[in-house]
Amino acid sequence: MATDLHQSVVASPPPEKIKERREWLWSLLIGLAILVAIATIPAYGDASLLHTWTLIVMYVVLAQSWNFIGGYAGYAAFGNVTFFGIGAYTVGLLVLAGLPFWVGLIAGGVIAGMFALLLGLPVLRLRGQYFAVATLGTAEALREFVEVKDIGGRGGGLMSLPLPSLDAYPFLFYAFIMLSLLCLLITVVLTQSKFGYALIAIRENEQVAQALGIHTYWYKVGAFVLSAVPTALAGGLYAYWATGFDPGTVFDRGISIEMVLLTFLGGSGTILGPIIGGILFETASFQFQTSGLNLHNTLLGLSIVLVTIILPQGLIRFIQEFTRRSTPGLTPANRFMEGLRRVRRFIAANGI
């Protein structure tokens, strides 16, 4: 009997592993619940509401995509809008050439993935601010190229597509939802895979990861390509949804900055962080717009300062920090008071 007890204890996973499994499972379930709730928006029959939430989910997808390279690998890519623009112009050119929309969408993802691979080979040998500047410069150079070469054919790279039917707008909304769901599932798989562990090791200390035998260079290239493809798909969906755009719109460096902010606001390198950050910031931004205050850039700059000072680890990790320290056996009222005391200590410790 003692032998059986010993075997059962050895076979049982440690409490930390059980808790880790519960964390990713709960994150997956909460993410699914959020996306399912958002998916009910078309049922309200409000075109303005559908328009707003289509853009919100699009930015959620962009943040989720950036999280692969910036959150897990820890490489601050400030030029991911490059892939958004590639996806948009690929769809636009192929639709104008008479090909189906879905062909342009797939082609945009493939081209963006190949471009990320070719770009990543040289720039991912750089680190820190050098990598950030290189990716930002690439985005700016591609924007200038599209504008000067007049890729759209209407002057200055302007692209104008046929107006889709009214039925296409709910379809595009659900396409963004499905793309966000795909990014959510990829993130969950990433957190449980060797590939994801390697990226986290690179983020924490790349030199140590190399010393442990991890081929950091190719893992970084893989993460860069992984972040490029869904970003390009989002750009392709946006192109068909917006019908009209120019290089300044789809290669806007502000979109790249917004990807970074949304990820860090919710929590970079987490499953739910980009979703939470995207919904909170974009909802607040659109609320200001509907009230007649066009303060998007002001809110963006202010949020960057606040997140950097107050929430450098993001909302998800802030919540997890207090959840992990919760004392078992407390009543709900005592647990609430304990949480308030922790918040007070956190504010005092950080000088907020």
What pLDDT was estimated at residue 127? 87
**pLDDT tens-digit readout, 201-216:** 999 999 989 888 889 9
Q: Are 106 and 226 in contact (CB under 8 A)?
A: no
**pLDDT tens-digit readout, 232-265:** 999 999 999 998 899 999 999 999 999 999 999 9
pLDDT at 352 over 80: no
What pLDDT was estimated at residue 9? 34
Amino acid sitting at position 206: E
Which residue did the predictor score with more confidence, 150 or 312? 150
What pLDDT was estimated at residue 42? 93
- Euclidean distance between CA atoms 221 and 243, whole angstroms: 32
> What 3-state class would DSSP assign to 37?
helix
- The CATH number corresponding to 15-312 among 1.10.20, 3.10.20, 1.20.1070, 1.10.3470 equals 1.10.3470
What pLDDT was estimated at residue 302? 77
pLDDT at 109 over 90: yes
What pLDDT was estimated at residue 121? 95
Q: How confident is the model at residue 11 (pLDDT cuts 50, 70, 90)?
A: very low
What pLDDT was estimated at residue 3? 46
Q: Are 74 and 202 in contact (CB under 8 A)?
A: yes
- Euclidean distance between CA atoms 130 and 30, whole angstroms: 37
Q: Domain boundaries in the chain?
A: 15-312, 313-352
Beta-strand runs (E) in 171-245: 244-245
**pLDDT tens-digit readout, 139-168:** 999 999 999 988 888 888 898 898 887 788
pLDDT at 60 over 90: yes
What pLDDT was estimated at residue 6? 41
> Could you give the percent of the chain with pLDDT greater than 90?
59
Residue 153 has which token pair? 């054919």
Which residue did the predictor score with more confidence, 115 or 286? 115
115 membership: H or E segment, kind and range:
helix 101-123
Segment 321-338 shows an average pLDDT of: 56
What pLDDT was estimated at residue 156? 86
Segment 89-115 shows an average pLDDT of: 95
- Which residue bears the tokens 């890519």? 77
- Euclidean distance between CA atoms 95 and 152, whole angstroms: 12
Q: Are 203 and 269 in contact (CB under 8 A)?
A: yes
Non-local CB neighbours of 133 within 8 Å, separated by 6+ positions: 78
Closest CA to 82 of 228, 278, 183, 241: 228
Q: How confident is the model at residue 310 (pLDDT cuts 50, 70, 90)?
A: confident
- Which residue bears the tokens 């300044």? 248
